[in-house]
């Protein structure tokens, strides 16, 4: 089953809609933070580029149905991103990012390539890198949790 073109069309529509919605935002910040309008537009432009890439790609002659393991892995990653969004609200960026990046590594690596210490290194490096980029370099505010 080749789902590239429908997925590409969905990404293109989602990205175009996101750009249209983000363009209507009018947010006044005290430090001229570009994030509330600029970052969603960047993310949606990436969606549009990925959607166009999937639509314009020559279709493969692969007629295999999606196997159960790949479907479970994709559903697990989607669930992990949902847990990450909830954890951002509850415990804040740092704790949520550590757990989510480690969980995504664990899912993506698969049983044959998982190494627990490598997941911890990726989680810490990603969390510190994002903190340095957004909080330190750009002066943006990272989410704080309601619990602590």
Lowest mean pLDDT: which of 23-27, 88-92, 100-104? 23-27
Q: Read off the pLDDT of residues 27-43 as tens digits, 9 standing for 90 and up.
A: 666 666 666 677 888 88
Query: Does residue 17 sit in the same domain as residue 77?
Result: no
Print the domain residue range for 57. 1-65
Domain count within the chain: 2
Task: Count CB-CB contacts under 10 A for residue 87.
Answer: 20
Report DSSP letters for 74-85, one per residue: HHHHHHHHHHHH
Terminal-residue alpha carbon distance, the chain: 46
Q: Read off the pLDDT of residues 8-25 as tens digits, 9 standing for 90 and up.
A: 889 899 999 989 988 887
Query: Does residue 15 sit in the same domain as residue 38?
Result: yes
């Amino acid at each position: 089953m080749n789902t590239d073109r429908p997925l590409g069309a969905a990404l293109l529509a989602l990205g175009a809609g996101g750009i249209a919605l983000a363009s209507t935002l009018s947010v006044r910040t005290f430090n001229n933070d570009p994030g509330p309008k600029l970052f969603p537009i960047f993310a949606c432009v990436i969606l549009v580029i990925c959607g166009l890439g999937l639509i314009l790609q020559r279709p493969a002659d692969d007629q295999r149905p999606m196997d159960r393991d790949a479907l479970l892995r994709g559903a697990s990653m989607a669930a992990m991103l949902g847990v990450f969004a909830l954890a951002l609200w509850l415990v804040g960026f740092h704790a949520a990012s550590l757990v989510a990046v480690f969980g995504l590594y664990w899912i993506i690596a698969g049983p044959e390539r998982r190494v627990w210490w490598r997941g911890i290194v990726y989680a810490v490096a990603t969390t510190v890198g994002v903190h340095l980029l957004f909080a330190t370099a750009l002066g943006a505010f990272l989410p704080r949790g309601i619990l602590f």
